[in-house]
Amino acid sequence: MIQSQAFSILKTGANIFLTGEPGSGKTYTVNRYVEYLRARDVEPAITASTGIAATHIGGMTIHSWCGIGIKTKLDERDLNKIAGNEYIAKRVRRTKVLIIDEVSMLTAETLCMVDAVCREVKLSMEPFGGMQVVFVGDFFQLPPVVRASAEDNAETTFIDEPLFHFAYTAFDWTRVNPVVCYLTEQYRQDDDDFIAMLSAIRRNAFGENQLRYIEARKKEHHSAPDGAPRLFSHNADVDRINEGMLSKLSGERKAFAMSSQGFDALVAILKKGCISPEALYLKTGAAVMFTKNNLKKGFVNGTLGVVDGFNKTNGNPVIKIRSGQLIEAEPVDWTMEENGKVRARITQLPLRLAWAITVHKSQGMSLDEAVMDLSRVFEFGQGYVALSRVRRLSGIFLLGWNERAFKVHPEILAKDEFFRAESETAKTSFAEISSDELEKRHKHFIDACGGINISRERTSVNLSGDKKANKSGINLETIREQTPNAYRPWDEAQDEKLRELFTKNLSTADIAGAFGRKKGAISSRLRKLGLVQH
């Protein structure tokens, strides 16, 4: 299934499991859907199974969103307490669309608890209280972390199911009955041999033919490229490498501290999920990696470089990336938004030391090259995740591997065949629906969510440049045509255009029309950019 087909199915309001191989565009498709909903005044709840994944999509962990926190089980008293929390109850009641990213790392028991909270708060027996649920992830990647405790058999819980492993084994997943949208296009890798090797791992068909490619990428420590990040399975190895390499550099050690604002609990979640550290120490010559996307300035999450020096005026580090381009790294925000409002914010340079990083923290990144030590891999999927971060086989340098490095969970193999078949069925079924009928379903869902359907006729009037509505005389239709796709998250190009229109004294309504966004989104962005007071 291609992205446009999955996007069209999402817009019908059906429950969805959006999956696909690494680099197939799952996050891009979700971001596009979020922007589509927000443009129609429907604010989705954006959550993820882990803090790191949550920062990638600008949301919060599913545990925080529904109030279960670190609980591994719910009894009736717990459920009543959560449902009686006014803040959480209000959040859940107003949610029409719930997105859960990196669902592969969510236990089935946690999914049961989330469903129970949603049903209790919404006073509905429908799965998740009747909201649209969008599961996103790839079960071939990192699995949930399941820790047994002494309390596991201590009492009867409200969720009277055994502790499952994968989320799809939960009864609640079956009740949701999601339409499977299995994305098959590849946007990260363009190396046919490498794609074939990754596909073989995914099918559990890794053999001699694939091993020869792996062996060809074997390197000794001393011959591995110095500037490439090293991926390890354990934090201790990462910390040891980064600290050791930084200490070897001569020159002054400069510190950059993270700042924060908002609710303490939410700030703590952002900090835990942020790949940039709270205290970042740099020296000239330090190997670094960008941890955010900024296409206009020339970097994305995973772009590698070296600290070339520091700006003498503001102290910001200047990074020389592989192409030779010099980029001044400026502080950026990671935010947690809810219902269009920023609830918490942390600010730090979008950098981290890049001599080494854990495989877990690399999930979601795209790297040009990486040195990997897979000799201590301890989870199914860990080796697959590490390898699939890199765009080409020529960018992989392997220090070693163990028996588990190229294996995937045997249970997932059979389930993946089921997911692929379900996706093909969905693609065929939706292809038989006329475009007019699909459009009706799209509009009906927005109506059901209490949103505003945007007709072509109304949009044309809003963007016509009518001087009664637009005293500046600026042709907003032309502006709209020149504005980057509004169904994408805000980027530097859109911010620059927003500043330009704001300085021309256009009304918020006119600017919203030019961007195809709602007025609240424009006001929020203006505040974030410091153009208007909070």
Give 127-186 as a DSSP string: GGGG-EEEEE--TTSPPP-----TTTTTS--SS-S---SBGGGSHHHHHH-PEEEEE---
What fold does the segment set 3-142+162-187+413-436 form as a domain? Answer: Rossmann fold (3.40.50)
Instruction: Report yes or no: 20 and 427 within 8 Å, Cβ to Cβ.
Output: no
Each residue's pLDDT expressed in tens, for the chain with a length of 534 residues: 999 999 999 999 999 999 998 778 888 899 899 989 998 989 899 888 876 666 566 677 888 888 887 777 888 888 888 888 888 889 899 999 999 998 988 888 889 999 999 999 999 899 999 999 999 998 888 777 655 443 443 343 444 443 447 899 888 899 999 999 999 887 776 678 888 888 888 888 888 888 888 888 888 877 777 767 888 888 788 888 888 889 999 989 999 999 999 888 888 888 887 888 899 999 999 988 888 777 678 776 667 789 999 999 999 999 998 778 899 999 999 887 765 578 889 999 999 888 888 887 777 677 888 888 888 888 787 888 888 888 888 888 998 898 888 888 888 888 999 999 999 999 999 999 999 999 999 999 999 999 888 754 343 333 333 333 444 444 444 444 444 444 456 767 777 778 777 776 677 777 877 777 777 778 778 877 777 654
Q: Looking at residue 173, what is its pLDDT?
A: 93
Instruction: Report yes or no: 63 and 45 within 8 Å, Cβ to Cβ.
Output: no
Closest residue by Cα to residue 174 from 96, 111, 107: 111
Q: CA Rg, the chain, in Å?
A: 24
> How crowded is residue 455: how many other Cβ atoms within 10 Å of its Cβ?
10
Burial of 8 per CB tally in 10 Å (0-12, 13-18, 19+): middle
Instruction: Report yes or no: 241 and 355 within 8 Å, Cβ to Cβ.
Output: yes
d(CA 291, CA 351): 5
Both tokens assigned to 225: 């490229």
Q: Which residues contact 235 (CB under 8 A, 6 or more apart)?
A: 358
Under DSSP, is residue 28 helix (H, G, I), strand (E, B) or coil?
Answer: helix
Under DSSP, is residue 397 helix (H, G, I), strand (E, B) or coil?
Answer: strand
Amino acid at 217: R
d(CA 412, CA 405): 16
Q: Looking at residue 148, what is its pLDDT?
A: 44
Q: What residue spans in the chain does CATH classification 3.40.50.300 cover?
A: 3-142+162-187+413-436
Q: How far is CA 490 from the centre of its chain?
A: 15
Q: Looking at residue 163, what is its pLDDT?
A: 42
In this structure, what are the phi and psi dihedrals at residue 311, rounded to the nearest 5 degrees? -60, 125
Q: Looking at residue 458, what is its pLDDT?
A: 40
Q: N- to C-terminal Cα distance for the chain?
A: 43
Q: Looking at residue 309, what is its pLDDT?
A: 94
Q: Looking at residue 531, what is its pLDDT?
A: 74
In this structure, what are the phi and psi dihedrals at residue 39, rounded to the nearest 5 degrees? -65, -20
Pairing of strands 230-232, 370-374: parallel
Q: Looking at residue 52, what is its pLDDT?
A: 61
Amino acid at 6: A
Both tokens assigned to 357: 């990083």
Q: Looking at residue 298, what is its pLDDT?
A: 78
Amino acid at 68: I
Question: Which residues, in sequence order, are bridge partners of residue 371?
Answer: 230, 397
Residue 218 DSSP class: B
d(CA 202, CA 473): 57
Q: Looking at residue 511, what is its pLDDT?
A: 81
